[in-house]
Amino acid sequence: MKVAIIILAAGNGLRMQSDTPKVLQPIAGKPILMHVMDTVNELLSSKSAYDFSKICIVVNKQYDLMRQHVSNKAIQWVVQLEQKGTGDAVKQALPFCSDCDVMLVIYGDMPFIRSETLLKLLDHSKGQQLTILTSQLANPTGYGRIIRNQQHKLIDIVEETDATKEQKKNIEINTGMMVIPISKLKDWLPQMKPNNQQKEYYLTDLVHIASSQNACVQSHTTYHILEITGVNTRQQQIELERAYQRWQSDNLIQKGVYIIDPNRLDIRGSLSAGHDVTIDINCIFEGTVSLGNHVSIGAGCIIRNSHLADYTTVNPYSIIDQSNIASHCNIGPWARLRPHTKLAESVCIGNFVEIKDANISKNTKIKHLSYIGNADIGEQVNIGAGTITCNYDGINKYHTQIKNEVFIGANTALIAPLIIEEHATIGAGSTITQTAEAGYLTLSRVKQRVIKQWKRPR
């Protein structure tokens, strides 16, 4: 069966009161539309009997921004010049899908719709029947209400603005997702009239048009509220963000992760964790992050696209970006590991230390106030407080190599390119410009003077 997926995203989103199109507003760090596209991609790669041969996104005139976000070249962009309602949006898409059997309509403002639910909806339609995805909400305000006859047959959907007091009490709602047989749609569309409060062509009118012709209308109900929650206002965006974050936290908690307060954790991407992992409050995980067993993350940490191996501890307010951390490391508080930092086993990085593009070998300690960039640091090295690799001349970056068992005294400037040979010691306060020989003490220090006749200005 050939299925056309239609994503409705042309609405003006006026209720958001924002210059950014509603479907590009973020949830969990990603535009709402991109979450929908994740589901579409799941459908495309699912092993189902359906041939998803067309994907249309219905957009308004200002869709350039959206095009930048959605890179899939197979997408058919359908421009709806005037926002005359969801029914009109589908009408605009129809000419692009006339060779398909059914249309699967999904909304661009519902980020967490699941592919498994959409596949069930398609199964219910058997490729021939108008099929509506419904749900039941304790508070159905704002949604179209499902109207059934005494035989429990679905005969109509009424929008909140058009509903009677009695109809508004109904908790069964239209989620908006539906499957429409294309041959019938061609017949039904001209019967749609904008006779309602909003003077729009409602897609939901298909239900009473179909049932008045005695065509069978099917429904499938989902009780997974998160997947059918749409975003129309800032308030809803914020509430859905929290609900989604809570859902992600709960999934991790079920796998044994100790999240100290699941209401104060944000995952903007994917986080995987082994056993006996503890995450303190107010942490943000971005991109793809994996934590080994017995990892502990202190309060207020931000970790992005990184892997942290077993028994590593990150102390509060540290930032780790595109880094690879081996086991038994101790990081922070207030450490900043920038892209391409690699820490071997049992490395210790203390407060106000910044590291970038550097390999730090096992058992090395950089405990206070240092900048290490473009460097390879050996095993069992001790880097004193205030050590700086001077790696940049304003144009080029240069490399520093510090070999095993070196000791760098505090407040040392290492002018790259530079090599410090094994077991060398650098005296505190030095500016080192040339290779420091293995095993010796190297220092550059201005001789201390005493000026006895000097007087403090008064």
What are the catalytic residues? 368
* 117 binding ligand UD1? (CB under 6 A): no
Q: Of these, 112, 143, 311, 371, which contacts ligand UD1 (CB under 6 A)?
A: 143
Q: Which of 25, 86, 323, 391 binds ligand UD1 (CB under 6 A)?
A: 86
Site for ligand UD1 in 32-71 (CB under 6 A): 58
* Cα diameter, the chain: 110
Does position 80 interact with ligand UD1 (CB under 6 A)? The reply is yes
Q: How far is the CB of 111 from ligand UD1 (least distance, A)?
A: 11
Instruction: Pick the closer one to ligand UD1 by CB: 24 or 295.
Output: 24
Cβ contact 320:301 at 8 Å: yes
Closer residue to Ca ion (CB): 202 or 371: 202
Q: Which does 351 bind (CB under 5 to 8 A by kind): ligand UD1, Ca ion, none?
A: none
Stretch near ligand UD1 under the rule CB under 6 A, chosen from 101-109, 275-283, 332-340, 357-365: 101-109
Contact 247, 238 (CB under 8 A): no
**Binding of residue 84 to ligand UD1 (CB under 6 A):** yes
What residues between 222 and 261 interact with ligand UD1 by CB under 6 A?
A: 230, 232
Give the pair of three-digit tokens for residue 179. Answer: 């499957």
Three-class DSSP labels, the chain: CEEEEEEECCCCCHHHCCCCCHHHCEECCEEHHHHHHHHHHHHHHCCCCCEEEEEEEEECCCCHHHHHHCCCCCCEEEECCCCCCHHHHHHHHHHHHCCCCEEEEEECCCCCCCHHHHHHHHHHHCCCCEEEEEEECCCCCCCCEEEECCCCCEEEEECHHHCCHHHHCCCEEEEEEEEEEHHHHHHHHHHCCCCCCCCCCCHHHHHHHHHHCCCCEEEEEECCHHHHCCCCCHHHHHHHHHHHHHHHHHHHHHCCCEECCHHHEEEEEEEEECCCCEECCCEEEEEEEEECCCCEECCCCEEECCEECCCCEECCCCEEECEEECCCCEECCCCEECCCEEECCCCEEEECCEEEEEEECCCCEEEECCEEEEEEECCCCEECCCCEEECECCCCECCEEECCCCEECCCCEEECCEEECCCCEECCCCEECCCECCCCEECCCCCCCCCCCCCCCC
Binding of ligand UD1 by 112 (CB under 6 A): no
Q: Which listed residue (25, 134, 135, 174) binds ligand UD1 by CB under 6 A?
A: 174
- In angstroms, the CA 178 to CA 205 distance is 12
Partner that binds at residue 373, options Ca ion, ligand UD1, none, CB closer than 5 to 8 Å by kind: none
Binding region for Ca ion (CB under 5 A): 109, 230, 232
CA 62 to CA 83: how far, in whole Å? Answer: 12
Query: Interface with ligand UD1 includes 179 (CB under 6 A)?
Result: no
Select from Ca ion, ligand UD1, none the partner in contact with residue 111, using the beta carbon and a kind-dependent cut-off of 5 to 8 Å.
none
Task: Using the rule CB under 6 A, give the single segment among 3-11, 123-131, 383-391, 432-440 that binds ligand UD1.
Answer: 3-11
CB of 242 to ligand UD1, least distance (A): 19
The residue (of 236 and 411) whose beta carbon lies closer to Ca ion is 236
Per-residue burial over 234-251, b = 16 or more CB atoms within 10 Å of its CB, e = otherwise? eebbeebbeebbeebbee
Stretch that binds ligand UD1, among 82-90, 268-276, 384-392, 437-445 (CB under 6 A): 82-90
Among 83, 136, 359, 380, binds ligand UD1 (CB under 6 A): 83
For the CB of residue 15, give the shortest distance to Ca ion in the complex, in Å. 9
Nearest approach in angstroms of CB 183 to ligand UD1 is 22
Q: Which is nearer to ligand UD1, 90 or 375 (CB)?
A: 90
Distance CA 273, CA 285 (A): 12
Q: CB of 96: closest distance to ligand UD1 in angstroms? A: 14
Query: Min. distance of Cβ 29 from Ca ion in angstroms?
Result: 22
CB atoms within 10 A of CB 12: 11
Contact range with ligand UD1 by CB under 6 A, out of 6-14, 282-290, 292-300, 359-367: 6-14
Residue from 40, 89, 104, 179 touching ligand UD1 (CB under 6 A): that is 89
Q: Which one of Ca ion, ligand UD1, none is in contact with 181 (Cβ closer than 5 to 8 A by kind)?
A: none
Our CB check for ligand UD1 shows the closer of 35 and 336 to be 35
Write down the least CB distance from residue 247 to ligand UD1, Å.
Answer: 19
Rank residues 39 and 174 by Cβ distance to ligand UD1 and give the closer one: 174
**Residues that bind ligand UD1 in the complex, under the rule CB under 6 A:** 8-11, 58, 80, 83-86, 88-89, 107-109, 143-144, 157, 159, 173-176, 202-204, 230, 232
